[in-house]
Amino acid sequence: MSVRTIITPDNEVLRKKARRVADFADEKLQRLIDDMVETMLDAPGVGLAAPQVAESQRVIVIRLPDDEESLEEYGRDAGILHVVVNPEIIKSSRDTVEGVEACLSIPGFFGKVDRHVAVTVKGQDRHGRDIRIKARDWLARVFQHEIDHLDGVLYIDKASEIWRASPEGEATEE
């Protein structure tokens, strides 16, 4: 496993629709997934899509923090690693909520984005087995953010407001 370089919007891969994965036995796919997990955790981030490491494949990895504070906030979703290949949202709640987002590919900025409160995602695991995940709240937001990456969409495209982070890296509105 190795940490890969996270690309920024000046790399055209980030703005293209990613290709579906068909060959789950491909050693390169398995290495990509392992590298994505390591890259996400090293960044540190809560989600990463393959296009963010310059791979035009429909693969995402997500893991909410599991420190003591996060366990209280995220409950059973904290610390669970989600690896989803060819993910698609098949159901969304009517209710939406605006929340603050950031992105490893757009360092130093935050934005307010309206997202569905709950989504159901279907796809395959890293071995090609069908999976279905019901996500709410922050986990649902992360799934929507990462799946957008697979279609070449960045959170800044949907944000109602964008601002630069403070020197300490915190979200402070200017």
Q: How far apart are CA 121 and CA 143, in angstroms?
A: 8
- 3-state secondary structure at position 18: coil
pLDDT for the residue 174: 42
Least confident of 4-8, 18-22, 63-67: 63-67
pLDDT grade for 168, boundaries at 50, 70 and 90: low
Tell me the domain boundaries of the chain.
Answer: 12-164
Fold of 12-164: Peptide Deformylase (3.90.45)
Please say if the pLDDT value at position 46 is more than 80.
yes
C-alpha span between 109 and 164 (Å, rounded): 4
The proportion of the chain whose per-residue pLDDT surpasses 70, expressed as a percent, equals 96
Place 169 in a pLDDT band, splitting at 50, 70 and 90: low
CA torsion angle 27 29 33 38 (round to 10): 60
Active site residue 101: no
CA gap 101, 98 in Å, rounded:
10
* β-pairing verdict for 118-124 and 81-92: antiparallel
pTM of the model: 0.93
- Taking only the tens place, the pLDDT of each residue in 90-138 is 999 999 999 999 999 999 999 999 999 999 999 999 999 999 999 999 9
Q: Which of 88, 98, 146, 174 is catalytic?
A: 146
